[in-house]
Chains A and B, each alone.
Chain A
């Protein structure tokens, strides 16, 4: 069966490449949301590099697992992972944000193989994912549907409609992942519209809740494997993350929700990321 498990470099290295692309893309495009992309690089690397059944040569493979990026503003990260695992050539990433490009800032399916759903307005992805999960149940298919949401996005009421629906319909083939970096557009999530007690909210809505360090690949893999065998209710993986993860001066900062890395900032970010890639390469070759 075709699978992204064909990605041979290990998920840590895949995450490092995703981060490297994100910095290049947001630098070249002068675009925002670099912190949001870096925050989810590990989640994407684990899903695309280890967990999901996909076939880059056949993006519409019937029994593929579906992935929806509901926090569409982190589109650069998804384009990066799709290119890395082979849906299209990484050179295409240079087009991101450029005039005439199909690689829009917010993730879009048009002309981009591997993107299941275009998003950008928050609070859309989970409902569509629940519809896909319901479809798989009706058709007695075994694939999974993954929807990645931001924490700030959980302010949107439409998500809670979908959360009710998914548990009512026992959609155990649906896995929501929350990128819980605790920073939203202007301030922290707790100062803006408090989500805590976050896990309890999902529990009381009838969901299976797993909390992980969203940068720890072992924890992520264990969580997704647990979700795979869990039955009778949907799973949410609340992933505690750091916005801007992987570039020290971008970490945990609202500023890098908007700012695009230029000049010295870009050089410093690249240096850090490339050092990490070299280090990981050494470790993997040692192994």
Chain B
């Protein structure tokens, strides 16, 4: 997904000399090609994310289209106030790109887990929040995001749902996608953890339960219609995210449902509980430990459906 982003940005930079990529001294081997092709459109600002974001704002206010690149929380939380006061308040055309969504860097420890970013960035006015589920979607969304001015956040995952390539015009900012049709339950996920959701949907299908699977790549703006339809047309919804259960996908979905008076038959949140992980491991392993694997999604969904039946 990371390579898909940078190769598309390289394509875009060929035609747009206003594109500038800043890195906080990360991206070894990944950004090299871009840096060599466009030496005047690339700055390694050093290990200084607050300054990177301020420099990005200064460049953007002068008409550049700026990207800041780093791992996980370094391009978001470390410089959150620069993002809020400088980028967002001035509606500057800066895209914060973070690699390492959720547990992508699972062995590196809590400092490298991006598990609160969606909630925090979503709260900022003017900010667009995008989390692709696979490299193909990342490529298309990178291009579509470049067409829009203003503050944007692109959350890049090491994992990938590996969905089939869909036409360029089938992926839109602000729109969710129905990956599988179904009426027996709805599974909604954000980002690459869609891969776990699809395995869970296969197991449900083997049990005769046809789950509708919705992938949300655009948390803000959020596709309200696709969610309302799911609430109205299926018995209940399960939200899945590799992120805290507070304020991210399930938070956004519950907010728009309640404020529009639309109550799903049941509502399940699958994500990280309000705690810091205490062990490390690869992404698959941590999804298992923190109850967001395909198995968890399957059992939680089955339990919710049974409860619904018993009531």
Contact = CB atoms under 8 A, between A and B. Distances in A.
Nearest to B20: A138
Given A124-B54, A161-B50, A134 B59 contact: yes
Nearest to A106: B85
Given A128-B54, A138-B40, A121 B59 contact: no
Contact of B45 (A132, A139, A158, A165): A165
A120 B54 contact: no
Given A124-B82, A124-B86, A129 B50 contact: no
For A109, A123, A124, A127, the residue with the greatest tally of chain B CB atoms inside 10 Å of its CB is A127
Contacts of B61: 116-117, 128, 131-132
Interface residues of A, number: 29
A129 B48 contact: no
B57 interface: yes
A127 B94 CA distance: 15
A134 B62 CA distance: 10
A127 B58 contact: yes
B82 A127 contact: yes
Contacts of B85: 118-121, 124
For A130, A133, A139, A158, the residue with the greatest tally of chain B CB atoms inside 10 Å of its CB is A158
B90 A135 contact: no
Interface residues of B, number: 25
B56 interface: yes
A128 B86 contact: yes
A138 B64 CA distance: 10
B81 interface: yes
A164 B58 contact: no
A95 B55 CA distance: 32
A130 to B, nearest CB: 6
B268 to A, nearest CB: 39
The 8 closest A-B pairs by CB, nearest first: A131-B58, A127-B54, A161-B51, A135-B62, A131-B55, A161-B48, A132-B58, A158-B50
Interface of A: 109, 116-121, 123-124, 126-136, 138-139, 157-158, 161-162, 164-165, 168
5 contacts: A118-B85, A118-B90, A121-B85, A135-B62, A157-B50
